[in-house]
Amino acid sequence: MQFGYADVDITPQPGEELTGYGYYLNRRATGAADPLLARALAMSDGDARAVVVQLDLLALSAQFVDDVRGECERRLGLPGSHLMLHCTHTHSGPAVRVTFGCGRPSEHFLHDLNRHLVSVVEGALENLTEADSMEAFEIPWPKGFAHNRVGGSELDTHVRGVRIVPTAGRPIVLMNYACHPVTMGVNREYSADYPGALIREFNAYGTRALFLTGCSGDINPLINAYKHGMGTSETLRIYGRDLAAVVREGLRQACDWTPGPLRVISEMVPVAYDMPGEDEFAEALAGLKAQVLDSPDDGTLRANIEWHEAMLAAYAQGTMDEISRAEIQVMGCGNVLFAGLAAETFTKLGQMIRDAAPDHLSIIGATTNGVIGYLSDSADVARGGYASSSAAKLYGMPLPTPEAGETWAREGARIVREVIG
């Protein structure tokens, strides 16, 4: 096996709208608390190549992902399905896709980001070199800094990862933990949140590092259990230090990562939805527009109007089924799987996919590729949770059925089984 690494600074100039909190906050960045990067890990078995890219951003649109993949295929000969674009989901990054009321990207930043991503993929492929050793680890961390924020009991209490020691150059570590990067609250500076602090810990010791945020649609940092937005740069430093210590312990216990041929399957999987008829929808929109005349500063109401307008457009264009699909991408290499899920996925759904390959190390990154929105479990839908209602609307997705998340995850499990044969 050959591996290559590259990174590039993607921090924009001040002024971009930050994304991830509240409605119409007009959070324009005044500067950077820490840099935002894109980091790429390329893999080759001699016949096939695949690249995992980690971005310090919230989420990408499907159209943007298609554009980057298309450019990489034209310029670099890399099949689009073999490129995984994972956002760590920091809520202190610039908008890259429209979220109604929660941020809109600038064309200038999107253009620069596309160029940077093609460049970093190219750099990782150019740096491919043989590995002297490959290791994988999974270690429990029951007293981590994550907690279930929706009243459920599910929590992924493990930290996972791999280490590659190339014949030339510094070691590469890819790490995976499930917790929403919302430590800093509603700030006005660019920040990679705790994943950035974790990676800096490893960079300081000469290791190149990447991080994939796991299935944490229902998981927040513990500090938010006391009061949302209390986190500071010191909180980030502590989270990064503590998580780095767990990773180092995992590496001390690591097992050989048995190489194998690269196999990649990527599918756009339907997400079942339950929506009113077009006429009923149009009537509801008219009612909302009447209400907003009396409450023009009601952000929730304004975002709801934008969502109704988008859904009516989908009805008119016949695209409702098309926008109700979310990608599941699985890259298999020996006894390690990298899975990219195009949603803010709840813990239970990630575990359903992981259970399909109990003899493999499954490193799952949510908010990967073109993110549809939240996919919660049926228990959260029954509670009338934010994820399956308000959050679906800010992402511009049709409202999912109660069983949509579990049904989608079962398809993910099927894809995993196909990859491992």
- pLDDT tens for 356-415 read 999 999 999 999 999 999 999 999 988 888 888 888 899 999 999 999 999 999 999 999
Say what the pLDDT of residue 227 is: 80
Say what the pLDDT of residue 387 is: 85
SS3 353: helix
SS3 349: helix
CA trace torsion 353, 355, 356, 357 (10° rounding): 110
Other Cβ atoms less than 10 A from the Cβ of 238: the count is: 17
Looking at the predicted structure, is the pLDDT value of residue 166 above 90? yes
Q: How confident is the model over 152-161, as a mean pLDDT?
A: 95
Say what the pLDDT of residue 407 is: 98
SS3 62: helix
Say what the pLDDT of residue 382 is: 87
Tokens of 66: 């298609």
With beta carbons less than 8 A apart as the criterion, state whether 94 and 100 touch: no
Q: Which residues contact 280 (CB under 8 A, 6 or more apart)?
A: none
Looking at the predicted structure, is the pLDDT value of residue 228 above 90? no
Q: How confident is the model over 180-209, as a mean pLDDT?
A: 96
Say what the pLDDT of residue 151 is: 87
Extents of the domains making up the chain: 2-267+324-420, 278-313
- pLDDT tens for 244-256 read 999 999 999 999 9
Q: Which residues contact 245 (CB under 8 A, 6 or more apart)?
A: none
Helix H or strand E encompassing 84: strand 83-87
pLDDT bucket at 152, cuts 50 / 70 / 90: confident
Looking at the predicted structure, is the pLDDT value of residue 349 above 90? yes
With beta carbons less than 8 A apart as the criterion, state whether 72 and 83 touch: yes
- pLDDT tens for 330-343 read 999 999 999 999 99
pLDDT bucket at 167, cuts 50 / 70 / 90: very high
pLDDT bucket at 229, cuts 50 / 70 / 90: confident
Output the average pLDDT for the chain.
Answer: 96
Helix H or strand E encompassing 315: helix 299-317
Distance CA 395, CA 340 (A): 19
SS3 414: helix
- pLDDT tens for 284-333 read 999 999 999 999 999 999 999 999 999 999 999 999 999 999 999 999 99
This prediction has a pTM of 0.97
% of the chain exceeding 70 in pLDDT: 100
**β-strands 336-341, 361-365 pairing:** parallel
